[in-house]
Amino acid sequence: MRALARWAREEWGLLYVTVRTALPKRHLRAVPMTLGAVCLTALLQYVQNRPWGYQFVQDVGAVRAQDPLWLALLRTPLSLFVPALDLPVWGALTQILLVFGIAEICIGWWRTLFIAYAATLAGTLYARLGISLGTHAPFGLPWTDAQVVDTGPSAAVVGLAVFVSWRYAAYVTSSAVTVAMVAEVLLKQNLAGKEHLAALMAVGLICLAVAVRHRYGHGLRLRCGPWLRLRPRHAYGHPPRRAQRRSGSRAGRGSGLPPIQS
């Protein structure tokens, strides 16, 4: 049990300290974007389950690979918050509340949205590529998937979970999420599973860009853009020294990337 507790402190200690420090000080003001996303998802779920609102939600937030690209891109931002009709809505709300909330505290609301939309857009674009490749290609999809309604926060949740875990040196957690997504594809061979892999690839490229920027410093800052300026600061005060000794040592030995705040 002691070994398990020591491993948990090393894996999640720094992440826990960051969240625990923010919530008592700011309460709900620490996650305004997350609360807005939960309310928007619940509202869209209510509207799309009404006879007068179903078609409206489909018109503004339902993405299909058979749609024109410009229309799919226009609907993608809202599609993230439209729950899938064949899945329980409480699952989507719980995912957004937990994963978006932790990400908003740890990396800030605008970086959270950026990564969430990057992961969602990667899945949306992959669906078109996979259908054009056909079923004979290793990453191809059947043409029937072009008619599947592609909505929900799952790709964004997967991408955020991997990025935040990597950023806070919880490497076992990020690896476990990746392995779970690969297993989903091997077992189900469905559109959602392959879109999750596409989201992981997109987030992996973001992680690589952040690591390169951190390694080579100021000279790369102008080329990478302002969102990569992940400076080593703590928005809610420094964690206690005891917590730093217990949970922060591994982060220092890992990627060398300190936690970020917004």
Give the separation between CA 28 and CA 203, rounded to whole angstroms.
27
Question: Which among 244, 228, 237 has a CA at the least distance from the CA of 107?
Answer: 228
Angle at 175 between CA 174 and CA 179, to 5 degrees: 120
Contact criterion met (CB below 8 Å) for 37 and 74:
no
Partnered with residue 63 across adjacent β-strands are 150
What pLDDT, on the 0 to 100 scale, is given for residue 222? Answer: 38
Which DSSP symbol is given to 150?
B
Note down pLDDT in tens along the chain; length 262 residues.
Answer: 778 888 888 888 888 898 888 888 888 888 999 999 999 999 999 999 999 999 999 999 999 999 999 999 999 999 999 998 888 899 999 999 999 999 999 999 999 999 999 999 999 999 999 998 888 777 888 898 899 988 999 999 999 999 999 999 899 999 999 999 999 888 888 888 899 999 999 999 999 999 888 887 654 443 444 444 444 334 334 444 444 444 444 444 455 555 555 4
What pLDDT, on the 0 to 100 scale, is given for residue 235? Answer: 39
Residue type, 184: E
What pLDDT, on the 0 to 100 scale, is given for residue 200? Answer: 95
Contact criterion met (CB below 8 Å) for 103 and 189:
no
Statement: the pTM of the whole predicted model exceeds 0.75: yes
The residue assigned the tokens 């290609």 is: 137
> How many residues comprise the chain?
262
Q: Widest CA span of the chain, in angstroms?
A: 57
What pLDDT, on the 0 to 100 scale, is given for residue 122? Answer: 95
What pLDDT, on the 0 to 100 scale, is given for residue 260? Answer: 59
Give the separation between CA 41 and CA 107, rounded to whole angstroms.
22
Q: Which two tokens stand for residue 107?
A: 């990396």
